[in-house]
């Protein structure tokens, strides 16, 4: 009994969490006409009002009812208006409900602005950032964790204190800096400032420190140099932390919005989030198209999440324990 | 003894990361201090103007409104998110079957982009074609204007009981000689529009906080509960006497992370509110949008925006240091 209540509450709350996504999906396959009529529930059901004349079936839009008769606009199958304010008998109009899924919304939304370009840009930027973060991160973490050198702790704490600074604080001076470098509206502006991640360095350092000293001694005796030790011993032993860092880097880069909004302008290098934001202003009344665009923008990360949910959740959970 | 040659190796390993951190973090932070004391626009540096940007800011009513809105966000989002996530985590901790399923469900909003999800929520709160008013109509409640409503939630709430809030404010305003608008903003609570932002912000961060709490709960050894069972303590007593105390380091973490993140809310304001963004009547303008607008909007005043950014930094830094101090006190 107690278990049942627990499950019941969890289900209700779970439903509340996913309702926006469900509604996004159901709305993305509706016609704009239905939405404007106020048919905004979850089911993609359409009221189809038709009128048959000389064997041809017309779609009907009622204007005004007068006793037994009604003034209507008639439309053909493609919703082109055939006649206006035609007076017909109310009894001749047939009305039925029909499930219709407008999958064409996805295609329309995708082609309305260069979403293909935005996707490619985002993929390029995200992968570059992840690769950069892993390279700079494992090199620095290796030095911080294993090597002894002057100023090590000072530099490390300087790094950590930089991690505390929130993005909005350095956004404006970064713009000034990138502007002076001539990088505004280039891929460099989206990639280079992000190819070192202090959190990744921190995460990898913690992992590298757990590797027993004996392994390094053995490597040294065998004549294994520093870099070879990193490549052949340290990294293979740290696969799960590396994938954690990669996941964080990828999700962060894919979803970043404020930085690319400020640092880029032309559609040619616009990333998905910024493109989606512009699209939402351009097509603000096209609810169905906006939902379709939101759906295909979210989809890649949802798929990634479903494929690696255990790993992703564990990664996020570990960020709390160490923080 | 042979003096060892100075070893450059370690520095070479740090170099790539250090270059990026210094050039794109340290330098900008130092730069923002400098910029904030100059009359600096997009065309380049101008005259040294001392503290003028700061004095201007503290006299700017728009700045104070943004601050107040940001505080409203934090004050509502943080406690609600904390309590809900702790409750969720406790329920999740009690079950075995479907545990990872529910965990994933709660977590989906965390990995999805704020931009896409803001677009969805904006339409949910749309007056005519939104889901929120559709639900309200199903259970027979009058539709609300949601994101278009500038009236405060306390005002709206009291209006349900026929209490004339604006009359009350007018009286107070006459007594204390403070302007009506200022009093209304302070006592009327966040506007309904800002409350929509509060809901979305809680919803977005709930999954993350739940996962953090769940990890914390799983670290509590079972022996405490077994002992409490023997002593005959019920589940609720156990929660307040054991769980709440042992989970306190996690609570501090969640508290601080949520506060810091909520202070930096931007995307949902940019995408859900307006036009103009921050509307209606500036009741959803938050501090990060304010600095964005000052820096990159019409006025394009990068130095003024830098000053705002540094104030934000000061607030967040103070909170972080405060947390570090408190955390030491409560560590079990």
Put simply, the chain B residues between 8 and 27 with a CB less than 8 A from any chain A CB are 9-11, 13-14, 16-21, 23-27
| Cβ atoms A300, A254 nearer than 8 A | yes
Measure the CA–CA gap between A317 and A321, rounded to whole angstroms.
Answer: 7
In a domain, B40, yes or no: no
**Among B18, B102, B313, beta carbon nearest to A169:** B313
In a domain, B271, yes or no: yes
Measure the CA–CA gap between A138 and A129, rounded to whole angstroms.
Answer: 14
Put simply, the chain B residues between 190 and 219 with a CB less than 8 A from any chain A CB are 203, 206-208, 211-212, 214-216, 219
ipTM reported for the complex, 2 dp: 0.90
| Cβ atoms B214, B173 nearer than 8 A | no
Are B14 and A144 a contacting pair at CB < 8 A? yes
Alpha helix stretches (DSSP H) within chain B: 9-21, 27-35, 52-59, 61-94, 99-111, 114-124, 131-138, 153-159, 165-176, 180-187, 192-218, 223-230, 235-238, 244-246, 248-263, 267-272, 287-296, 302-330
In a domain, B235, yes or no: yes
| Cβ atoms B95, A3 nearer than 8 A | yes
Nearest to B210 by CA among B79, B74, B106: B106
**Among A172, A226, A257, beta carbon nearest to B114:** A257
Provide the mean pLDDT of chain A. Answer: 88
Nearest CA to CA, how far is A153 from chain B (Å)? Answer: 12
Nearest to B312 by CA among A167, A161, A258, A198: A167
Measure the CA–CA gap between A283 and A211, rounded to whole angstroms.
Answer: 54
Nearest CA to CA, how far is B184 from chain A (Å)? Answer: 29
pLDDT tens digit sequence for A285-316: 889 999 999 999 999 999 989 888 888 888 88
Nearest CA to CA, how far is A35 from chain B (Å)? Answer: 6
Measure the CA–CA gap between A242 and A141, rounded to whole angstroms.
Answer: 12
Q: Is a pLDDT exceeding 60 seen at residue A38?
A: yes
Is A26 at the interface with chain B, CB within 8 A?
no
Measure the CA–CA gap between B193 and A95, rounded to whole angstroms.
Answer: 39
Is A35 at the interface with chain B, CB within 8 A?
yes
Are B115 and A276 a contacting pair at CB < 8 A? yes
Are A174 and B28 a contacting pair at CB < 8 A? yes
Task: Classify residue A174 by burial, with Cβ atoms within 10 Å: 0-12, 13-18, 19+.
Answer: buried
Domain with residue B102: its CATH number is 1.10.3720.10
Measure the CA–CA gap between B316 and B323, rounded to whole angstroms.
Answer: 11
Q: Is A308 helix (H, G, I), strand (E, B) or coil?
A: coil
List the single range of A43-47, A120-124, A186-190 with lowest mean pLDDT.
A43-47
In a domain, B119, yes or no: yes
Q: Is a pLDDT exceeding 90 seen at residue B270?
A: yes
Are A166 and B264 a contacting pair at CB < 8 A? yes
Is A135 at the interface with chain B, CB within 8 A?
yes
Measure the CA–CA gap between A52 and B223, rounded to whole angstroms.
Answer: 77
Are A168 and B291 a contacting pair at CB < 8 A? yes
Measure the CA–CA gap between A114 and A271, rounded to whole angstroms.
Answer: 10
Q: Is a pLDDT exceeding 80 seen at residue A101?
A: yes
In a domain, B31, yes or no: no
Side-by-side strand order, sheet with A81-89? A81-89, A69-75, A56-66, A45-53, A93-99
In a domain, B276, yes or no: yes
Taking the CA of residue B169 as centre, how many other CA atoms within 13 Å lie in the half-sphere pointing to its CB?
A: 18
pLDDT at B330: 61
pLDDT at A322: 45
Are B29 and A192 a contacting pair at CB < 8 A? no
Q: Is a pLDDT exceeding 80 seen at residue A323?
A: no
Q: Given pLDDT bands bounded at 50, 70 and 90, which one contains residue B42?
A: low
Put simply, the chain A residues between 80 and 119 with a CB less than 8 A from any chain B CB are none
Is A168 at the interface with chain B, CB within 8 A?
yes
Q: Cβ contacts of residue A167 below 8 Å, gap of 6+? A: A258, A259, B264
Which residues in chain B are closer than 8 Å to A195, comparing Cβ atoms?
Answer: 20
Q: Is B42 helix (H, G, I), strand (E, B) or coil?
A: coil
Percent of chain B past pLDDT 70, that is, above it, reads 96
What is the C-alpha R_g of chain B?
25
Q: How far is CA A29 from CA A24, A291, B126, in A?
A: 9, 9, 18
Q: Which of A35, A159, A176, A199 to substitute to test the interface with B, most B CBs within 10 Å?
A: A176
Nearest to A256 by CA among A315, A190, A201, A185: A190
pLDDT at A320: 63
Q: At what angle do helices A115-146 and A104-112 cross, to 10 degrees?
A: 80
| DSSP assignment of A111-145 | HHTTHHHHHHHHHHHHHHHHHHHHHHHHHHHHHHH
Helices (H) and strands (E) in chain A, counts: 16, 5
Is B116 at the interface with chain A, CB within 8 A?
yes
Q: Which of B25, B29, B46, B122 to substitute to test the interface with A, most A CBs within 10 Å?
A: B25
Q: Which tokens go with A251?
A: 């999700």
Q: At what angle do helices A287-307 and A2-28 cross, to 10 degrees?
A: 130
Are B28 and A173 a contacting pair at CB < 8 A? yes
Provide the mean pLDDT of chain B. Answer: 88
Which residues in chain B are closer than 8 Å to A40, comparing Cβ atoms?
Answer: 129-131, 134
Percent of chain B past pLDDT 90, that is, above it, reads 42
Q: Which tokens go with B156?
A: 């709206």
Q: Given pLDDT bands bounded at 50, 70 and 90, which one contains residue B225?
A: confident
Q: Which of B12, B93, B116 to substitute to test the interface with A, most A CBs within 10 Å?
A: B116
Total of domains in chain B:
1
- Measure the CA angle with vertex A241, ends A236 and A246; round to 5°: 100
pTM for this predicted structure: 0.89
Domain that holds residue B205: 53-152+190-330
Are A27 and B123 a contacting pair at CB < 8 A? yes
Measure the CA–CA gap between A300 and B146, rounded to whole angstroms.
Answer: 31
Q: Is A95 helix (H, G, I), strand (E, B) or coil?
A: strand
Q: Cβ contacts of residue A248 below 8 Å, gap of 6+? A: A197, A199, A200, A315, A319
Nearest-10 Cα torsion for A278, A279, A284, A289: -160
Are A305 and B216 a contacting pair at CB < 8 A? no
Are A149 and B7 a contacting pair at CB < 8 A? yes
Nearest to B256 by CA among B318, B211, B312, B198: B318
pLDDT at A3: 83
Q: Is a pLDDT exceeding 90 seen at residue B36?
A: no
Percent of chain A past pLDDT 90, that is, above it, reads 41
In a domain, B37, yes or no: no
pLDDT tens digit sequence for A125-177: 999 999 999 999 999 999 999 888 888 899 998 888 888 888 888 999 899 89
Q: Which of A105, A173, A200, A220 to substitute to test the interface with B, most B CBs within 10 Å?
A: A173
- Measure the CA angle with vertex A66, ends A64 and A71; round to 5°: 40
Put simply, the chain B residues between 224 and 263 with a CB less than 8 A from any chain A CB are 250, 253-254, 257, 260, 263
Alpha helix stretches (DSSP H) within A238-286: 239-255, 258-263, 272-282
Task: Classify residue B266 by burial, with Cβ atoms within 10 Å: 0-12, 13-18, 19+.
Answer: buried
Q: Which domains does chain A have, with CATH numbers?
A: 1-43 (no CATH), 45-99 (no CATH), 107-322 (1.10.3720.10)
In a domain, B184, yes or no: no
Higher pLDDT: A87 or A119? It is A119
- The partner residues of A58 in beta bridges, in order of sequence, read A51
Are A135 and B111 a contacting pair at CB < 8 A? no
Q: Which of B91, B119, B146, B235 to substitute to test the interface with A, most A CBs within 10 Å?
A: B119
Q: Is A263 helix (H, G, I), strand (E, B) or coil?
A: helix
pLDDT tens digit sequence for A3-31: 888 899 899 989 989 999 999 999 999 88
Nearest to B99 by CA among A241, A309, A18: A309
């Amino acid at each position: 009994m107690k278990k049942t209540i627990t499950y019941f509450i969890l289900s209700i709350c779970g439903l509340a969490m996913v309702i926006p996504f469900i509604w996004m999906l159901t709305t993305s396959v509706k016609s704009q006409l239905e939405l404007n009529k106020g048919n905004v529930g979850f089911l993609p059901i359409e009221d189809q009002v038709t009128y048959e004349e000389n064997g041809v079936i017309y779609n009907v839009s009622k204007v005004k009812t007068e006793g037994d008769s009604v003034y209507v606009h008639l439309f053909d199958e493609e919703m082109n208006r055939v006649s206006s304010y035609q007076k017909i008998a109310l009894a001749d109009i047939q009305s039925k409900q029909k499930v219709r899924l407008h999958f064409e919304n996805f295609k329309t939304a995708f082609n309305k602005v260069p979403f293909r370009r935005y996707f490619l840009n985002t993929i390029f930027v995200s992968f570059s950032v992840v690769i950069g973060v892993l390279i700079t991160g494992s090199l620095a973490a290796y030095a911080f964790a294993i090597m002894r050198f002057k100023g090590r702790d000072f530099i490390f704490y300087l790094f950590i204190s930089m991690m505390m600074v929130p993005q909005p604080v350095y956004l404006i001076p970064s713009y000034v800096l990138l502007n002076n470098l001539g990088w505004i509206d280039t891929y460099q502006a989206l990639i280079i400032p992000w190819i070192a991640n202090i959190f990744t360095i921190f995460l990898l350092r913690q992992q590298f420190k757990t590797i027993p000293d004996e392994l390094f001694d053995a490597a040294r005796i065998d004549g294994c140099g520093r870099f070879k030790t990193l490549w052949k011993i340290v990294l293979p032993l740290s696969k799960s932390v590396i994938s954690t860092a990669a996941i964080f880097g990828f999700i962060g880069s894919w979803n970043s919005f404020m930085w690319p909004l400020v640092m880029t302008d032309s559609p040619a290098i616009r990333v998905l989030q910024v493109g989606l934001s512009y699209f939402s202003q351009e097509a603000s009344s096209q609810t169905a198209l906006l939902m379709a665009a939101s759906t295909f923008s979210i989809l890649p990360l949802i798929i990634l999440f479903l494929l690696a949910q255990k790993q992703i959740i564990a990664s996020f959970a570990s960020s709390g324990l160490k923080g | 003894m042979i003096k060892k040659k100075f070893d450059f190796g370690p520095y070479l390993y740090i170099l790539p990361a250090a270059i990026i951190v210094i050039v794109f973090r340290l330098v900008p932070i130092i730069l923002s201090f400098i910029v904030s004391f100059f009359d600096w626009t997009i065309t380049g540096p101008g005259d040294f103007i001392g503290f003028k940007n700061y004095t201007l800011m503290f006299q700017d009513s728009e700045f104070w409104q943004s601050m107040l809105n940001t505080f409203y966000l934090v004050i509502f989002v943080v406690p609600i998110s904390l309590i809900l996530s702790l409750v969720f985590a406790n329920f999740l901790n009690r079950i075995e079957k479907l545990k990872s399923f529910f965990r994933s469900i709660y977590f989906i909003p965390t990995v999805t982009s704020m931009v896409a999800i803001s677009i969805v929520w904006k339409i949910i709160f749309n007056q005519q074609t939104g889901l929120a008013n559709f639900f309200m109509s199903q259970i027979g409640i009058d539709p609300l204007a949601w994101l278009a409503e500038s009236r405060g939630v306390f005002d709206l709430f009291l209006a349900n009981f026929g209490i004339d809030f604006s009359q009350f404010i007018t009286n107070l305003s006459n007594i204390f000689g403070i302007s009506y608008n200022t009093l209304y903003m302070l006592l009327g609570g966040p506007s309904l529009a800002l409350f929509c932002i509060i809901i979305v912000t809680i919803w977005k961060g709930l999954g993350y906080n739940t996962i953090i709490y769940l990890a914390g709960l799983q670290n509590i050894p079972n022996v405490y509960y077994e002992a409490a069972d023997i002593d005959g303590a019920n589940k609720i007593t156990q929660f307040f006497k054991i769980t709440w105390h042992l989970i306190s380091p996690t609570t501090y973490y969640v508290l601080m992370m949520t506060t810091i993140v909520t202070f930096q809310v931007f995307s949902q304001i940019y995408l859900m509110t307006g036009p103009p963004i921050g509307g209606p009547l500036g009741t959803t303008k938050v501090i990060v949008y304010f600095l964005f607008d000052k820096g990159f909007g019409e006025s394009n005043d990068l130095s003024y925006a830098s000053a705002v950014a540094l104030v934000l930094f000061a607030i967040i830094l103070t909170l972080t240091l405060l947390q570090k101090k408190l955390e030491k006190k409560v560590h079990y």
